Amino acid sequence: MIWDDPQYLLIPDAAHDGEQRWLAISAVGFVTVLVAVHVIFGAEDEETVRVISARKATSHERRRYEQSTFD
């Protein structure tokens, strides 16, 4: 799962319909890098995550993840 990677990258995305969206970029299984677009709502101690979409990372997103992980 994307959030199981301790090195996952969390990036703010544009707000849509008044809700702040986030991109989570993460390696899964040492080979595949995935992106999940999601929103987070609720209190900090009881956050709820709603996944909007999940897909394989683009080459740009993969590089960004690798640079943040190996720096």
Domain contains 65: no
The closest of 30, 35, 69 to 52, measured between CA atoms, is 35
State yes or no: pLDDT of 13 exceeds 70: yes
Examine residue 26 and state whether it is found in any structural domain, yes or no.
yes
Q: Quick check: is 30 in a domain? A: yes
Q: Which two tokens stand for residue 4?
A: 């199981």
Residue 70 within a domain? no
Residue 14's domain spans which residues? 2-60
44 belongs to a structural domain: yes
Which two three-digit tokens encode residue 10? 């969390």
Its pTM stands at: 0.82
Structure confidence at residue 65 (pLDDT): 93
Number of domains in the chain: 1
What is the pLDDT, as a whole number, of residue 69? Answer: 78
- What local confidence, expressed as pLDDT, does residue 16 receive? 82
Q: Is residue 71 part of a domain?
A: no
pLDDT for 26 beyond 90: yes
32 located within any domain: yes
Q: Which residues pair with 12 in a beta bridge?
A: 22
- Over residues 46-70, the pLDDT tens digits come to 989 999 999 999 999 999 999 987 7
Give the pLDDT band of residue 71 (cuts 50, 70, 90).
low
Alpha helices in the chain, H assignment, sequence order? 59-70
Tell me if residue 68 falls in helix, strand or coil.
helix
Cβ count within 10 A of residue 39? 17
**66 domain-assigned:** no
